[in-house]
């Protein structure tokens, strides 16, 4: 008696007449050989959840059902490559469906999308995903920049090379996200900052790094600071003139180099 054979799961769409010993092999063939969604199909033609090997029995009539199901039910887990059976041996796990699609094309099909500016600018860049090509063209060849999503509301003029970067910026700078001191556990420092840059700048104080006054040689200044920005601010006290702090009550028109009278040996004297 002849064993049952299983046809390619997309025979009509791809004019494919290949048959296989198991449904799993037929489905793997379709994903590897044709431009189809990276979800396996069962004998009933329904799409299977990528986590079927972990016990999930969910199936959908359309690929969109799986795209909706995965982030809602398996948000904490990475999606295994659908070509992970023993004879293919792929152990990769990806963060989302689009990355799996790109992984199959670039790793298993060994196909990458070339930059369309190859013949114009001589660009030899290649990509696993079409949307990456679009971002590359806009940022490299057309030099498109993406503004902060909160530009108008927050009066922010920052721009970025991709929409993703602009979103990260908005969350960090305008939506109250806080960045902890990078040495929180080591030094039990629980300070938080509105940006990652400020957090790392603060972290320098734990490393014992000191920034001397930029004008230390000119004014023989021995002051040091934990932040370079503070050192630059301090340097202004050597050159900038401030009004006497008792201008109002004593009508003193003397201007001194440091607004804090008596705080600097290089301050111009002021007689009250």
Check whether 87 has a pLDDT greater than 60. no
Using an 8 Å Cβ cutoff, are 91 and 103 in contact? no
DSSP string, 81-126: PTT-STTT----EESSHHHHHHHIIIIIS---EEPTTHHHH----E
Q: What is the pLDDT of residue 89?
A: 67
Please list, in sequence order, all residues whose beta carbon lies within 8 angstroms of the beta carbon of residue 188, skipping any fewer than 6 positions away.
none
- 261 pLDDT tier (thresholds 50, 70, 90): very low
| More confident call, 209 vs 81 | 81
- Report pLDDT digits (tens) over 114-158: 787 776 667 778 776 677 787 788 777 777 678 888 888 878 888
Check whether 78 has a pLDDT greater than 80. yes
Coil, strand or helix at 34? coil
Check whether 269 has a pLDDT greater than 50. no
Please tell me the pTM assigned to this model.
0.42
Check whether 247 has a pLDDT greater than 80. no
Check whether 82 has a pLDDT greater than 80. yes
**Tokens standing for 263?**
């705080």
| More confident call, 162 vs 33 | 33
Give the mean pLDDT of 232-250: 69
CA atoms of 42 and 27, how far apart (whole Å): 8
- Report pLDDT digits (tens) over 26-56: 888 888 888 788 899 998 999 999 888 888 9
Neighbours of 172 (CB within 10 A): 17
Measuring CA to CA, which residue among 70, 72, 60 is closest to residue 93?
A: 70
């Amino acid at each position: 008696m002849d064993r049952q054979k299983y046809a390619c799961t997309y025979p009509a769409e791809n004019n494919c007449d290949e048959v296989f010993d198991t449904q799993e092999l037929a489905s793997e063939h379709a994903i590897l050989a044709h431009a189809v969604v990276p979800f396996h199909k069962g004998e009933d033609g329904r799409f299977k959840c990528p986590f079927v090997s972990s016990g999930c029995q969910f199936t959908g009539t359309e690929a969109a059902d799986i795209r909706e199901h995965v982030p809602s039910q398996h948000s904490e887990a990475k999606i295994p490559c659908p070509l992970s059976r023993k004879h293919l041996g792929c152990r990769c796990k990806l963060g989302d469906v689009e990355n799996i699609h790109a992984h199959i094309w670039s790793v298993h099909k060994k196909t990458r999308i070339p930059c369309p500016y190859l013949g114009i600018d001589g660009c030899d860049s290649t990509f696993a995903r079409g949307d990456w090509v679009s971002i590359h063209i806009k940022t490299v060849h057309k030099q498109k920049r993406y503004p902060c999503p909160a530009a108008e509301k927050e009066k922010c003029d920052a721009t970025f090379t991709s929409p993703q970067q602009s979103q990260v910026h908005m969350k960090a700078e305008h939506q109250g996200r806080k960045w902890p001191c990078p040495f929180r556990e080591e030094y039990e420092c629980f300070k938080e900052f509105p940006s990652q840059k400020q957090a790392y700048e603060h972290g320098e104080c734990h490393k014992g790094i000191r920034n001397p006054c930029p004008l230390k040689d000119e004014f023989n200044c021995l002051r040091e600071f934990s932040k370079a920005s503070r050192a630059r601010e301090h340097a202004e006290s050597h050159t900038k003139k401030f009004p006497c702090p008792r201008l109002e009550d004593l009508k003193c028109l003397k201007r001194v180099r440091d607004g804090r009278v008596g705080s600097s040996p290089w301050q111009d004297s002021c007689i009250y």
